[in-house]
Structure 1
Amino acid sequence: MRRIAKVVVALLALAAIGLGGWRLHAAREGVVETSLAVGEIPARVFRPASGAAGPVLVVAHGFAGSQQMMQAFAVTLARNGYVAVTFDFPGHGRNPVPLAGGLSDDRAAAGALMAALGRVVEAAGRLGDGRLALLGHSMAADIVMRWAVPRPEVAAMVALSGFGPEVTADRPRNLLLLVGAWEPGFLQEAARKVVGPATEERVTYGRFDDGTGRRYALAAGVEHIGILYSRDALAESLAWLDGVFGRLGDGFLDIRGGALALLFGGLLALGWPLSALLPRAVAREEGGGMGWRRFWVVALVPAVATPLLLRLVPGRFLPLLLGDYLALHCALYGVLTGLLMWWRGAGWSRARPGRVALGAIGVAAYAMLGFGVAIDLLLTSFLPVGMRAWLVPAMLCGTLPWFLADEWAVRGPHAARLAAPATKLAFLVSLLLAVALDPRRLFFLVIIVPVMLFFLTVYGLVGRWSWRATGTPLPAAIGHALALAWALAATFPLVE
């Protein structure tokens, strides 16, 4: 029955992957995508297949993002007659130039970001009918507004989840502010005040012809990242731009959340039947897991002690924003967990090293190729190019101790029920505690917590499947440590 169930799950997973991929591909019908040469800045152009020259919209991603994150807006606008241009800011995605200033020098960072935006706008301006608009998310919402304030040639602005610095009654021209309904209240209030003290949601103020158009709206049911795939955000943005430019497209919206859920849900479900291909590394299932009466110390002490101890560690040693801190956090967390497991008398592995290595390669390949290719094409840059490549082993020095200790602690015949999700949750709480202790330096970690929750959920499920198949937690621990090190090196911003 188990074999039959795995075959059924595999077929359903492949069907979900196929359906999700087909829906994502179908959304691009009528859109031509090409690369754009802007020096070292990677950029892509989305234009109607008809070749008609419409207004140009430069679409800018947020902090720690890349141009792939903005595809839903680019495709939506291209399907409706606009020429949309996406790109990677310095230090982000596949842009090889580190971001000046990082988080320590706001003026230097803003200058580098606005300079890159200006170069992309100049190159993109030759592609359309001479009219120009900008759209930015999070960090980029503020950057594009700053850049547009002294430039009346920017006819319209869409700011997603931004604060809106230096905004006046008529500059930037025709400003739409969108914030996720699940985003923090202070961010919603800041965006509302940009429009005016008596602003009502979804009410348009001012006039398009003199540039005083202003509007504020909440995107229902989404947070800081979800707004990039929100029907409300896409519809409001398209309607705003059509109003400014006096256009009427076909109303197509690239609402890809369901297709992405099918694709990634299918990829995750496929992991269960694929785990049967992993080699058995030990005769009987092994692991150091123990009952909650003995395990709660192992689960909680590292979560509290790690951020407290790291308060004593100074400085930055990697050109990856917060990569050095996260590597240290993972490494110390793993060492403390391992010491506590040793103190509690956990045994050692008797697995065959060759089969452990083969299993680890299989787990890593599934995580980095199965998920990685789809992530790189559809969500965010996932390929560690240039300087990022040598950062993978540096990050592995942190992720490997943590995964080895954690997987050993939550697996085994006597492991506490729900131990695996409990330790993953404790790790995320530990990161939040670190932010609370040093918010100025570590606030960015708050942004990545939802993404880390997704990764750790996937790793937890695959880790259990791998343990059942191989008999040991080691292949999943090694494979996932490599996959997370790869992901962090590929996605965190490069800084000088």
Structure 2
Amino acid sequence: MALLALVGIGLGLARLRAARAGLQVERIAVGEVPATVFRQPDATGPVVVIAHGFAGSQQMMQPFADTLAQAGYVAVTFDFPGHGRNPQPLSGGLRDDAAAAGALLDSLGRVVAATRGLGDGRLALLGHSMASDIVVRWALDRPEVGATVALSLFGPKVTADRPRNLLVVVGAWEPAFLIGEGRRIAGMATPGEVAERTTYGRFADGTARRLVLARGVEHIGVLYSRDSLAAARDWLNQAFGRSGGGRLDVRGGALGLLFGGLLLLAWPLSLLLPRVGPGQGAGLGWRRLWPVVFGPAIVTPLLLRLLPTELLPLLLGDYLVLHFALYGALTAAALWWRGARRPGPIAAPRFALAAAAVAAFGILGFGLPIEAFLTSFWPTPHRLWLVPAMLVGTLPWFLADEWATRGPGAARLAYPATKLAFLLSLLGAVALDPPRLFFLIIIVPVMLVFLTVYGLFGAWANRATGTPLVAATAHALALAWAMAVTFPMVVR
């Protein structure tokens, strides 16, 4: 199994690196804004400035940067304020749209000014989600922007001829209102019904419009879709009278091999963990467990609705740390009330060694490839203190939850049931306060993936060490780390 895992990891890395073969990749700084330039040696094509979406970073836009650079463009990615490795917090947050948009537009403008001279003087913009609106706004009154590509766009300011030559790409599985918005924008160039993948208007006068529905993908998958990458490259080629081709950086399969191999590798590695306890856990059957599962899920969002939660300069992170902490405390109280077994003696040195090993694999083993190929995952100095701050919430929840769902006699499917209850609790919090917590909906699918993957780690670690507290400690640190380095920092 270990050999099979290593083969998958090797193949995944080889395919990811092949997409960048022959390109020069240079990291630069535009003031405090981290940016990266992708180009072929001596390339002098148009510059394409590529902007990421909310809670993203420039790594998320690599597929477009590699694809366009292979086609002869000079592609530039960067981190918005409050995102990735940009040390400047984002003004406004979710409460002041004008201030937030102003900061994002200013950052985009500075990157354009600093990098436009790297190509032949012509300029295009590409943005996803939040950034699709930002690149459209920036291009509206700037005719020097020869073309704009907007992924998952909601653009109320778009007109029939501004911005010039606009391509809208939406995932076919995205919400209907985004698909409808794409049809509305493309329809500005034609009096008839809008057909997908049909160009309306004229490139010569900047009125060209097109809608592309990327097949089989949603809001994040649109970044890795062959349809999206090919549509963006072909649109820019038409707008600038070019015929560049080259490799499309369709990396979904390669990422699957890489991270699937890492997941598979965790099982044989878990067999090397030291034995810590005699087989511990609450060991509750469903008859005694159900209040532990559903009580905290109902009470936590109701109590937090009454309390101030804006404590950290981390957008939504401050609410989540309180949600985790209160949920964990309520779960522990419910376990005590139901008479659950308490932890027995454990070998402290072995416990520390096992927890450190599991945490290192979860943070470094997965984190390094995430940093390289998916999104920013390595904390900069201005974010490092947020890791222990988030751990204050994640540690109580993981300790209580892992203990509740493990042990001899534990209820069947207890582990997925408690995770589902927690995610439903988050959705309940959104329903109680949509204006402030709406963006929690975005992280629920990501949290589901995290809990599923680390649930497997936890089961293997528990079986090897004899106590669920090892995995609970390691996973609490891994999730605290992930939230501290990926959630946007804002001005409080």
Give 1:251 shift. 4.2
Aligned residues: 486
2:48 match: 57
- Of 302, 321, 328, the residue aligned with 2:322 is 328
- Of 270, 273, 295, the residue aligned with 1:275 is 270
Counterpart of 2:460, as a letter, is W
d(CA) in 2 for partners of 1:165, 1:130: 29
Give 1:247 shift. 1.0
**Contact 2:66–2:249 under 8 Å retained in 1:** yes
1:310 match: 304
2:280 match: 286
- Of 13, 28, 33, the residue aligned with 2:25 is 33
Tell me, yes or no, if structure 1 residue 410 matches structure 2 residue 405: yes
d(CA) in 2 for partners of 1:421, 1:182: 26
d(CA) in 2 for partners of 1:349, 1:108: 50
| 1:225-304 equivalence runs, <5 A | 225-282=220-277, 284-304=278-298
Return 450-459 or 11-20, whichever deviates more. Answer: 450-459
Q: Deviations over 1:309-361 (max 9, x none)?
A: 11011241100001110000001111111111111111111222222221111
d(CA) in 2 for partners of 1:409, 1:399: 15
**Contact 2:309–2:322 under 8 Å retained in 1:** no
d(CA) in 2 for partners of 1:58, 1:224: 20
1:115 match: 106
- Gapped regions of structure 1 (runs ≥ 5): 1-8
d(CA) in 2 for partners of 1:224, 1:297: 36
d(CA) in 2 for partners of 1:420, 1:378: 30
Q: Deviations over 1:422-479 (max 9, x none)?
A: 1111111111111111111001111111111111111100000000000000110001
| 1:479-490 equivalence runs, <5 A | 479-490=474-485
**Contact 2:276–2:351 under 8 Å retained in 1:** yes
2:213 match: 218
1:68 match: 59
d(CA) in 2 for partners of 1:309, 1:181: 38
2:462 match: 467
- Give secondary structure in 2 for the equivalent of 1:277: coil
Counterpart of 1:318, as a letter, is L
2:376 match: 381
- Of 389, 394, 402, the residue aligned with 1:399 is 394
| 1:44-193 equivalence runs, <5 A | 44-49=36-41, 51-193=42-184
d(CA) in 2 for partners of 1:162, 1:448: 19
Return 66-75 or 269-278, whichever deviates more. Answer: 269-278
d(CA) in 1 for partners of 2:290, 2:198: 53
Counterpart of 1:220, as a letter, is R
2:367 match: 372
- Give secondary structure in 1 for the equivalent of 2:202: coil
- Give secondary structure in 1 for the equivalent of 2:207: coil
**Contact 1:145–1:165 under 8 Å retained in 2:** no
1:425 match: 420
Counterpart of 2:18, as a letter, is A
Give 1:391 shift. 0.8
Return 161-170 or 323-332, whichever deviates more. Answer: 161-170
Counterpart of 1:37, as a letter, is A
Tell me, yes or no, if structure 1 residue 20 matches structure 2 residue 20: no
Give 1:191 shift. 2.4
- Gapped regions of structure 2 (runs ≥ 5): none
- Of 180, 188, 200, the residue aligned with 1:205 is 200
Counterpart of 1:160, as a letter, is L
d(CA) in 2 for partners of 1:479, 1:137: 33
Give 1:62 shift. 0.2
- Give secondary structure in 1 for the equivalent of 2:271: helix
- Of 341, 344, 347, the residue aligned with 1:347 is 341
d(CA) in 1 for partners of 2:281, 2:36: 48
When normalised by structure 2's length, the TM-score is 0.97
Counterpart of 2:124, as a letter, is A
Tell me, yes or no, if structure 1 residue 437 matches structure 2 residue 432: yes
Give 1:58 shift. 0.3
Give 1:222 shift. 0.7
d(CA) in 1 for partners of 2:309, 2:420: 27
Q: Deviations over 1:354-409 (max 9, x none)?
A: 22221111111001100000101110000111221111111000000000001001
Tell me, yes or no, if structure 1 residue 359 matches structure 2 residue 354: yes
Give 1:165 shift. 2.8
Counterpart of 1:296, as a letter, is W
d(CA) in 2 for partners of 1:285, 1:491: 35
Counterpart of 1:26, as a letter, is A
- Give secondary structure in 1 for the equivalent of 2:482: helix
**Contact 2:28–2:36 under 8 Å retained in 1:** yes
Query: What do you get for the CA RMSD once the two structures are aligned?
Result: 1.0
- Give secondary structure in 2 for the equivalent of 1:265: helix
**Contact 1:46–1:75 under 8 Å retained in 2:** yes
Give 1:188 shift. 1.4
d(CA) in 1 for partners of 2:282, 2:5: 32
Counterpart of 1:286, as a letter, is Q
d(CA) in 2 for partners of 1:82, 1:394: 43
Q: Deviations over 1:149-187 (max 9, x none)?
A: 010000000000120131111110000011111111112
- Give secondary structure in 2 for the equivalent of 1:448: helix
- Give secondary structure in 2 for the equivalent of 1:45: strand
d(CA) in 1 for partners of 2:157, 2:85: 30
d(CA) in 2 for partners of 1:490, 1:40: 17
Tell me, yes or no, if structure 1 residue 42 matches structure 2 residue 34: yes
Counterpart of 2:84, as a letter, is G
